[in-house]
Structure 1
């Protein structure tokens, strides 16, 4: 049985003390498994992620990284970068922060550059990159530090099909290593194909969670796609 890496038990959370954005949000992320966090706009997905990352002051409940030394990589929907640092300098900075050995940086960093076809812009500033290239940079930083848990927000936005394939292949390699993944996405056909289980949020609460069969039973759609079930339940 897979080890639990993250336990989320949020009674309520929000951006001020007078109004809760999410309530009764409970789920776990396990080793080697990919959990899809899905829901319509305004459902509370971003608030949930911020609560997990400790970015909200108004959180009632517990969020537990249950493995000793547990650390995560957050890959945001909107790339965040330093305008004065090159792509390689971003990788070097991340490796320094997370204690990645210099030889590992050289080996793994260059392998990631080659895999995402970014070697030619290794020493370029990200201001000149397309959104897809910046997203690739975020993915490379995440994969470089090899965390216990990946928290990924809308990873497919801006990625071309080839980069999407590379991302999913690397994610599968990391899952085989034992990493857990919490992925927030609107791309439901891909989520149905790659996720082990789902947490469906609507209006700040969990509508249903579990494997696809659980989602189908909740939606009364025994053969329904995740998209069909999503529409029926939200």
Structure 2
């Protein structure tokens, strides 16, 4: 099934930022929400993860409605924010146990997956480190490990490549593809459009709080970029 957003209206401080927004992210699909700063991407993501005030419309995930079944909805969700935030008093391992526990998945099977991911991101000898010893990129990798270790029906990632080295970016793309292949719906925001067209199934273009395009990279090139296949030129 996946994520279904219907006629979403949302904003803050009495201001409407997005309106009449409808889209789906099917299970097994990678979808990129793109647009200029201020277009409404962050507001939309906050609604999808259940942190914003819904002014209208509905959001559901595999049939669980966010408004009426918030616990069931959020149990199916994993989220990686743009800015990594960790608890200063918890070690790396304690962070990961906390994430798994919050989804009811803190068992030997999931911890083996954690150890695999720690090795991929070169954190396997740092399980007892506190966040004070981590660089921004390392903090971001901690959140990646936490999110990809969880069995989720929806993975939401806000600007996933910020702070990551080239190798980690490639590993992240491979992990997103793996998640999608296993049936997870993946929704992300990114400004790296030429990179995204290599692994994203569909693009959603937000402009001034409204959805002006939904489709493949090829269709985005034809309809919005004048046939120029350099998508990084889309907003120039």
- Considering the TM-score relative to the shorter chain, is it more than 0.5? yes
Hey, what does 1:5 align to over in structure 2? 2
Distance 2:230 2:63 in 1: 34
Structure 2 CA distance for aligned equivalents of residues 183 and 105 of structure 1: 24
Distance in 1 (CA, whole Å) between partners of 2:110 and 2:39 is 38
Q: How does 1:33-52 map to 2 (within 5 A)?
A: 33-52=29-48
- Match 1:165 to one of 162, 170, 194: 170
Count of matched residue pairs: 227
Report the equivalent of 1:231: 235
Q: Structure 1 residues 161 and 180 mapped into 2: Cα distance closer, same or farther (>3 Å)?
A: same
What is the aligned-residue RMSD (CA, Å)? 1.7
Q: What TM-score, normalized by structure 1, do the two folds share? A: 0.91
Unaligned stretches of 5+ residues in structure 1: none
Aligned: 1:32 with 2:28: yes
3-state SS, counterpart of residue 5 of structure 2 = strand
Task: Please say if residues 137 and 163 of structure 2, whose CA atoms lie closer than 8 Å, have aligned partners that are also in contact.
Answer: yes
Cα distance, 1:76–1:11 mapped onto 2, change above 3 Å? closer
Q: Show the 5 A alignment for 1:1-234.
A: 4-16=1-13, 18-67=14-63, 71-219=76-224, 221-228=226-233, 230-231=234-235
In structure 2, stretches of 5+ residues that fail to align are: 65-71
Q: Deviations over 1:155-180 (max 9, x none)?
A: 00000011111111111111111111
Q: Distance in 2 between matches of 1:110 and 1:209?
A: 37
